[in-house]
Amino acid sequence: MNSLDLVESFSQFKEFKNIDRPTMMRVLEDVFRTIIRRKYETDDNFDVIINTDKGDLEIWRRREIVEDKDWEDPLTQISLSEAHKLDEDYEVGEEAYEELTIESFGRRSVLAAKQTLFSRIMELEKDEIYKKYKDRENDIVTGEVYQIWKREALLLDEEGNELILPKSEQIPSDFFKKGENVRAIIKEVQMRNNNPRIILSRTAPDFLAKLMEQEVPEIFDGLITIKGIVREPGERAKVAVESYDDRIDPVGACVGMKGSRIHGIVRELKNENIDIINYTNNKNLYVQRALAPARINNMDFNDEKKTVSVYLNPDQVSKAIGRGGLNIKLAGRLTGYEIDVFRDIAEDEEYDIDLDEFTDEIEEWILDELKGIGCDTAKSVLALDAETLLRRTDLEEETIDDVLKILSEEFKDENK
């Protein structure tokens, strides 16, 4: 095997790696210097020349020319008679240059060099992948689904690097097929057992932030800043934005003409409802905006305990709480306050509760049955006896008894 063939065989590794050619050549030189040291004990008087354009390799040995009678050290000296075999013009005191062939090191040394190079390349490859993705943490990446397991999905980037999307970092309604392109944010890059592990996420708030940055030029340019994001992946999100230019409406810019900008993000997040609100330092106004679409009558803050009591008309309570308590939970996380909702009842106003406020205790399909016969509030249901409810709905007697018991509990204090 000549030097050209050897370098070409070594260079084949480079075709599938993230290593640039100069680094590859430096590694190649180190490997051959290792071979030289094993055979000659030192590489101080050897030159290893690698031509990155042609892909060939030259190894030159330098030794001082001495008279035959003064020749003592074969590693650093060469006798005049031996030097003349290389070149007739050599004289005593000069340095003789002798080119060494790959074959002169022996087949075993060449095979060892291949193994050493392969090991070095693999280590460098892993380091390069780690550094590359570590610098890109919190950036969006697109990967092709290669394998799907119970707890995670394996994606490949355009260079064939492995990306991991755990089930816990997937939107609940995500359903992937092999070969499908998936976008996610690089959440974390780890080095485990000397192997880089790139963790992706589609549920992180930063994923939504980066999507908005891509869709809204004003955010990318820094004219609009995202002050806070809270999400319940696949269900609902609240985003507080602020504009540094009074001429720009931050909410309108993020939503776009007829929702053109936000619609693409909503589709990417599997129809996740996204509420965009104007950020403000006024805590009263901030809480009010966070609880939209509910209209608030009054608020009472306890800054020490970071709580706020919110008073609303009865018909606004269900809007503030939201389906499954999602609206009030996200509003609390966004504003940093624990929000308590109270019904604001006038003295001459009859106290009643919307059925939607009982979603935590009564299944939604049962509430829909009651609404189907015109009962939208607790008292409208309690105004009917069990027999009437049994006749007018498809509910069973046991279910009706449970519903009436739950609704009656809310009015115990009023009936005393």
- Contacting residues for 236 by C-beta, under 8 A, at least 6 apart: 272, 273, 274, 275, 322, 326, 327, 330
As a whole number of angstroms, the distance between CA 92 and CA 349 comes to 118
Lowest mean pLDDT among 278-282, 329-333, 347-351: 347-351
Query: Which stretches within 269-363 are classed as H helix?
Result: 283-290, 314-321, 326-335
Choice between 186 and 314, residue whose per-residue pLDDT is larger? 186
| Helical (H) or strand (E) element with 100 | strand 95-100
Q: In this predicted model, what pLDDT tens digit does every residue of 290-308 receive, in sequence order?
A: 998 888 988 999 989 999 9
The CA distance from 12 to 114, in Å, is 11
Q: Are strands 56-66 and 77-79 parallel, antiparallel or unpaired?
A: parallel
The count of other CB atoms within 10 Å of the CB of residue 222 is 8
Q: What is the pLDDT of residues 199-257, one digit of tens each?
A: 999 999 999 999 999 999 999 999 999 999 999 999 999 999 999 888 899 999 999 88
Topology of the domain covering 136-203: OB fold (Dihydrolipoamide Acetyltransferase, E2P) (2.40.50)
Question: What is residue 38's three-state secondary structure?
Answer: helix
Contacts of 213 (CB under 8 A, 6+ apart): 219, 220
CA distances from 31 to 28, 76, 248, 319 (A): 5, 22, 61, 70
Task: Tell me the pLDDT band of 2, cut-offs 50, 70 and 90.
Answer: very low
Q: pLDDT tens, 119-155? A: 777 787 788 888 889 989 999 999 999 999 999 999 9
Distance separating the N- and C-terminal Cα atoms of the chain:
102
Beta-ladder partners of 307: 302, 338
The residue with greater pLDDT, 283 or 98, is 283
Q: How many CA atoms lie within 13 A of 43 on its CB side?
A: 15
For residue 311, the tally of other CB atoms under 10 A from its CB is 17
The contacts of residue 340 (CB under 8 Å, 6+ apart) are 307, 308, 309, 310
Which CATH number is 280-349 given? 3.30.300.20
pLDDT at 411: 74
SS3 content of the chain, % helix, strand, coil (to 5): 45, 25, 30
Predicted confidence (pLDDT) at residue 343 exceeds the cutoff of 90 = no
Q: Collapsing DSSP states into helix, strand and coil, what is residue 187?
A: strand
Is 1's pLDDT higher than 50?
no
Given a cut of 80, whether residue 106 has pLDDT beyond it is no
Is the model's pTM score more than 0.85? no
Q: How confident is the model at residue 21 (pLDDT cuts 50, 70, 90)?
A: low
User: In the predicted model, what is the mean pLDDT of the chain?
Assistant: 84
Q: Tell me the pLDDT tens digit for each residue of 34-53.
A: 888 888 888 888 888 776 55
Nearest to 146 by CA among 181, 183, 179: 179
Q: How confident is the model at residue 174 (pLDDT cuts 50, 70, 90)?
A: very high
3-131 CATH choice from 3.40.1080.10, 3.40.50.2000, 3.40.30.10, 3.30.1480.10: 3.30.1480.10
- pLDDT exceeds 80 at position 407: yes
Count of C-beta atoms within a 10 Å radius of residue 170: 22
Q: What are phi and psi of 92, to 5 degrees?
A: -60, 135
* Helix 283-290 / helix 326-335 crossing angle, nearest 10 deg: 150
Domain boundaries, given as residue ranges, for the chain: 3-131, 136-203, 280-349, 355-415
